[in-house]
Structure 1
């Protein structure tokens, strides 16, 4: 019999592995370790503090913070009362924070630091239901009603002296069908919707994953994707805790490379952006190296690809290929493995499609990437490639406790214990995505092959229909573009148009190196856009991609984005998906110019 709820799963670690290191974080330049007993004791005090404030079953607590141990403990503390932690991305603007906090009717708000406190203060008087405000890293001057998180723990200590078994008693009341959280989808269109997920949704997903993937207490996760996003919350928070693994919190997204060297993780979860950047950096270094180094690298890569294709197709390995692969590993691949810490058992990729070329490259180098697929509304995992059962360009077979089918129009549908209850206070929106038979309509287009592997071709809403009636999936083309040496980001345009065009963000570091070889120096993105020859350089990259496309899919023209797409400038969601409508609107005039020919 599995756990009844997620708080029980967490609190169990105090009995089953009290002295095991559960969490690590960096403070004053040094990594600190927290045992499971210390973590649970801390969370229990926070839970009791919330109870002292009157927080009870089904109440909501909002949190706006980057990844840190307080985030994790606040989640379990809130859940232990049968209440729900509602994450708010720390990158959101004040009016977006106000919408989510008011929509979920939060009673308590937890903020990370002075930056987030100042953001909340702008809309504080408009927060209708929040009665208590706490901050993790308190500024020197803390104005009422704000209090330090330590004050909440102190309230909890007093509460536990009077009612020592209260939290344990409350945990026993929480059932699998009870609501665990509301997660607001960042959404590439429209206002966010709050997906209501139960303890059973998450636990079923954990159980499904563990039915096909081996994870151990000895594993170390490096957590850097936002815990506000369901992908990290499930994998680098709930799943890791279920197994008693250690979670180390990266200092920031900018320090991930250094933190990998320090922590030497065994498992790491990421969106494709990280793998694309590593891939681009490796190829850049190779191309700048001497001819012999380049020759050895591409020989090793060829051997690796041949080796991996034997493994993928489950064919016996020829003796000579084994020998060549061992040599390739010794000469080339072990250096890449060391760059990511030297102990990675596997990476996990999700949140957006991973290029088949990049997946093959990493696997050839002895770094397996298990690409999976899912959505906020599905807790999230629907399918995943496995270490011994994978295909490049596919997102794997369904989990054992998950159903998947393709609808008549090509849309992917899924059913099972992983599907959300619905959207909070949005009954009509819920009925649009969950039909009478319990099938959740994902909005993604795909196919299932003869081996049961799912392939995503694009978002239903993203499909481009040219004026000539041709259907084009832009995502695979964009994936091909960003895996070229000099292109960092790309958006393909062409709906209701005669032909396809693209908005391109050149890869600054790669172009900078290219410019230096031409005797030119650039220091900023704007200076890069002024470079003579940049248009021709990118045109060559696009022409290489066009060679592998049907004629009606080819990119006929392109423009440069004025700046890289980012969360701050509004073109990316917090989970790094491109908001196509925002991009198209921002570059509307430039796009029209391309179609005047």
Structure 2
């Protein structure tokens, strides 16, 4: 590593050629395995999943692409999609690429103002809306925006309507447009979550995605997770998010089978029906799995058995990293715990899950060790929209829990003098749409993308994220505090939904805490406390005492000057619906600080 700028890199392992594109990814899968299963569609009744062959999907993509051409969509035109995760989302994505268009995702939770900014800024000509309600929000934009021509509703047979417009369009037109796309062609414009202001449109090329999926699938350390017809994943994160979008493309290239469900509301039943071998999720999902298992254990002997099992799992996982490995006694304890505890948890995740890929925020060492200890390896990674999703990731045989892994194949990572993580590689975006000033600010003079995240590289080249530069808190005493460490640890308590650490310019560190309404009844019952709602719990001395103990445990990770001295428990949770969470479950810190200024002042008696 360079002493002035610590750096780590992993060579690319896949063969990349200029003609490759996202239509090429599908064509390559079709040539290799036309009769193989590429998707399984959830039936409208029950939880059954129905297989779709590569040949069938490719024919549907061509039919929809012909329809888009018949509607007048030209090469480079923007086609916006506002929908929950679904088979139709993937179909429209690949059809737009095959027609030479640029699909632009809109989160299904976006407000009218957010959606109009994306449609307006991107210059979309056509918008697909999943529901009539979404369409009602988007339809008035047709009158206001000169470039927007129509809004089509998926729930009202939009796919069939589009296919009908392509009846007279020869398939050769689709082939010509598909083959005209190459690594340098614009693939999509994804708008950032907007935690700090108006979202910026990230322009990602076909090459950005192709380099990631080829290098990932061909990587011998990762191919065992994602490559081949026996690999299966169920997608429930929004495809509008770059993480899910990348995995969608990765599965098409790698030969895996993918299913879609719109959200995580019925996740246990969906996982049981689909039985994935690998899964991607944000850390909050893993926290929920653990906390739900703890709550289901109830109180008394069953709870003691679960917590003993959890401790054994974490101890066993940590021992795997020691020279001697787990002792014979520890192995015996784990065998017993597997029979009593772990099997039930694995069964709740479908029964066949070997690997889980965590991204979108820090997971925390405790959960990483717990899941590995019960037999589900969690591969924590790091990335941003601007790099097409991953830039570092732990992989089988290359894992250090507590880090976000070494550089992904074909990427370079460095640490700037101010501690910011810098990135180079074929996966780095080409710029922000119609925003040359922001693009210029995003890169160093020598071409490194500046992520805005703070991190450290260890001697083996594994990255550890320590915070976000814009979120660093400077107390009145001049102490710099990264809030993420405290927030992540405190959020692991079953009662806690969200945490925002505060204290900028203040005499000490405090925190706003929201309660998990779903977990509250079980926690109260397990602690022999009467039922109460969130408003009552937020002022109950016994609940507050439990939270104080959780704060004490969280403070063990930091110095006294950085520790949380006082919390304010809110009766309002932070959600996407009320505008305090992004679709990737990140808290909109600036909005929280502004809207809860009075509650923050209460912490300091001002």
Output the TM-score relative to the length of structure 2. Answer: 0.92
Among 57, 65, 74, which residue is 2:83 paired with?
65
**Partners in 2 of 1:225 and 1:508 — Cα distance?**
22
- Which residue among 486, 489, 493 is the counterpart of 1:484? 493
Once residues 574 and 278 of structure 1 are traced to their aligned partners in structure 2, the CA distance between those partners, rounded to angstroms, is 19
2:68 & 2:116 partners in 1: Cα distance? 22
Tell me, yes or no, if structure 1 residue 22 matches structure 2 residue 33. Answer: no
2:545 maps to which residue? 536
Post-superposition shift, 1:130?
1.3
Q: How many residues align?
A: 582
Counterpart Cα distance in 2 of 1:253 and 1:365: 22
Structure 1 unpaired stretches of 5+: 139-146
Q: Is this contact kept in 1: 2:485–2:557, CA < 8 A?
A: no
Match of 2:211 in 1: 204
> Residue by residue, what CA displacement relative to the aligned partner does 1:309-350 show, whole Å, maximum 9, x if unpaired?
233356555455444433332332122111101111200000
Verify: 1:240 aligned to 2:247, yes or no.
no
Counterpart of 1:144 in structure 2 is: none
Give the Cα separation in 2 of the matches to 1:566 and 1:439: 34
Contact in 2 for aligned 1:98/1:126 (Cα 8 Å): no
Q: 1:445 aligns with which of 448, 454, 473?
A: 454
Please tell me whether residue 403 in structure 1 is matched to residue 420 in structure 2.
Answer: no
1:120 aligns with 2:138: yes
2: CA distance, partners of 1:329 / 1:533: 33
Q: Hey, what's the Cα distance between the residues in 1 that align with 2:535 and 2:141? A: 35
Decide which of 16, 22, 41 is 1:6's aligned counterpart: 22
Counterpart secondary structure, 1:508? coil
- Distance in 2 (CA, whole Å) between partners of 1:485 and 1:71 is 34
1:134: how far off? 1.5
The answer as to 2:173 corresponding to 1:173 is no
1:238-258 Cα deviation digits (max 9, x unpaired) = 001101211111243211121
**2: CA distance, partners of 1:201 / 1:254:** 32
Larger RCO, structure (CA 8 Å, separation 6 or more) = 2
Match of 1:142? none
- 1:92-491 equivalent positions in 2, closer than 5 A: 92-138=110-156, 148-159=158-169, 163-210=170-217, 211=219, 212-214=221-223, 215=226, 216-235=228-247, 237-286=248-297, 288-291=298-301, 293-313=302-322, 315-316=324-325, 318-491=327-500
Contact 2:112–2:138 at 8 Å: present in 1 too? yes
Q: Give the match's secondary structure for 1:165.
A: helix
Q: Distance in 1 between matches of 2:327 and 2:546?
A: 41
| Cα distance in 2, alignment partners of residues 148 and 305 from structure 1 | 50
Q: Which runs of 5+ in 2 are unaligned?
A: 1-14
Which residue of structure 2 lines up, in the alignment, with residue 520 of structure 1? Answer: 530
Distance 2:28 2:344 in 1: 40
Q: Aligned to 1:253, what secondary structure does the other structure show? A: coil
Determine which of 38, 43, 53 is the counterpart of 2:56. Answer: 38
Q: Which moved more, 1:443-452 or 1:51-60?
A: 51-60
3-state secondary structure, aligned to 1:381: coil
1:119/1:528 CA distance change after superposition, 3 Å:
farther
Which whole-Å deviations, capped at 9, do the CAs of 1:132-181 have from their partners, x for residues lacking one? 3211111xxxxxxxx8321111122331xxx2322122211111111111
Distance 1:485 1:572 in 2: 19
Work out whether residues 345 and 367 of structure 1, in 8 Å CA contact, stay in contact via their aligned partners in 2.
yes
- Over the residues paired in the alignment, what is the CA RMSD in angstroms? 1.9
Q: Residue 533 of structure 1: SS of its match in structure 2?
A: helix
Could you say what secondary structure the match of 2:124 adopts? coil
Q: Which residue of 1 aligns with 2:5?
A: none
Q: CA deviation at 1:513?
A: 3.2
